Each structure stands twice: as structure tokens, then as C-alpha cells.
Amino acid sequence: MNDIVKTKNHPIRIRKILGPFGRLILQVVNWDVVGHLPDKKRIIIASAPHSSTFDAIYAYFVCLATDLKFYFLGSVSMFTRIAIPLPFKKNPDKLGIPHPFGSFQNKTLQQFGGIPVWRAKSTGVTEQVIEQLKSKDKFILYLTVEGEMKTNQTIKSGFHYIGKALDATVVPTKIDYKNRRFELMKVLELTDSVVADKEALMDRYHLVQGKNKTFYKPGTK
């Protein structure tokens, strides 16, 4: 697995305990990653279809197993609060209840590559991500391009604007539950048209079977 995703710009960080643990878990659950990362400094892994919390769990163990550092997005509430559904909580940044060790939880998740984003702020998520990553010479950002786990087939434009603003290489990636793997596909060359780039991505994901839905390009089902 390490040979598949190794890149000179992102040397592996040997994890003596977590690396073997991640590889063991992937073997137990029969999950794999195939394909190649381009030898670029700034990479966006644009994944779909996103239909289950297991998508993030498998991605986390792939990160450990490959000994690479991935950045990922999460609502700020995930970094400082305990995720208990409360019907009267309408603010997405204050879901659940405050974590008694919120500071430790926040530092730990960020150390593992987490990027907290404020969903209720007037500044959009895309702008927040650009602001946090623009000073980094190298990064691998894992994105679910649909944004949320919904049954409708929609792709957000964040991958395009982040890629253009940070001069990052976009790698479309299938979350393929039929074959139980992440499949890193051919690099998507970004154009000046967000509509064209979204269309190109939807072509890549068409008929990919997620855990709870199959991705269909709009107008084809």
C-alpha cells in the first residue's frame, strides 16, 4: 500500500505503532487503496460518493496505513464538543455539549491534520480552508466533494476554488464499496470554468457504489 501512494514531495512519516495498526485494520475489514498520487506539493483528494460516517473512518485508517499526513475538514463543534444530538441546537458550530477536555481534543485532532471550519460564519468554508492552507508549502487535503451525506447527487464547487487559489492538483477518488477500496484516479486538470470542472468530476463518479447510495450523474438516472 505504501508504494502505491508514495510521493517524493510527501515523504512517509514512519509510524511504528499506528502505521502497522492502520494496515492491520484495513486487512481485517478488507479495505484497500489503489492508484497513485502525483508527485506534486499541493494535492486535493476529491472523493465521492459520500454516504456514511464509515467513509471518514476508512480514510483515517488509510492515512495511518500509508504513513502520510492528510488534512481533513470538520465542523468546529467536532473539535471541542461531544456529539450528542440536541434538537434545540440550531447552530451547526455548537452541536452537542462542551467537551470537558475540549482543548486536548482540539489539539489532538489538529495534530492529526484536522482543520476546524465555522459553518455559521459569514465567511464561507472554502475561504476558511484557503486561509488556513495558503501558508503551507506542501499538503494533501482530503475532501468529500458533495459536502454532506445526502441522497441527491450534487457536487460543491469548493474543490475548484481551493485548487485554483492554492495551485493544488486535484485527484478524483472513488469511495467504492462494491470493490471495497479508495481508487485514486487520473488527475483532473482544472479549467477556468467551475461548471465544466464539476461536470468532469461527475463523469468520473458516475455509477460508483457508495455504502448507502450509488452516484448517478444528474440526468442519467
Q: What is the pLDDT of residue 60?
A: 87
Domain boundaries, the chain: 2-205
Most confident among 4-8, 83-87, 167-171 (mean pLDDT): 167-171
Mean pLDDT (the chain, rounded): 83
- Which tens digit of pLDDT belongs to each residue from 132-164? 899 999 999 999 998 776 666 688 999 999 999
State what percent of residues in the chain have pLDDT above 90.
45
pLDDT band at 88 (very low <50, low <70, confident <90, very high): very low
In DSSP notation, 103-161 reads HHHHHHHHHTTEEEE-SSSSS-HHHHHHHHHTT-SSEEEEEETT-S--SS----SHHHH
The arithmetic mean of pLDDT across residues 166-188, rounded, is 96
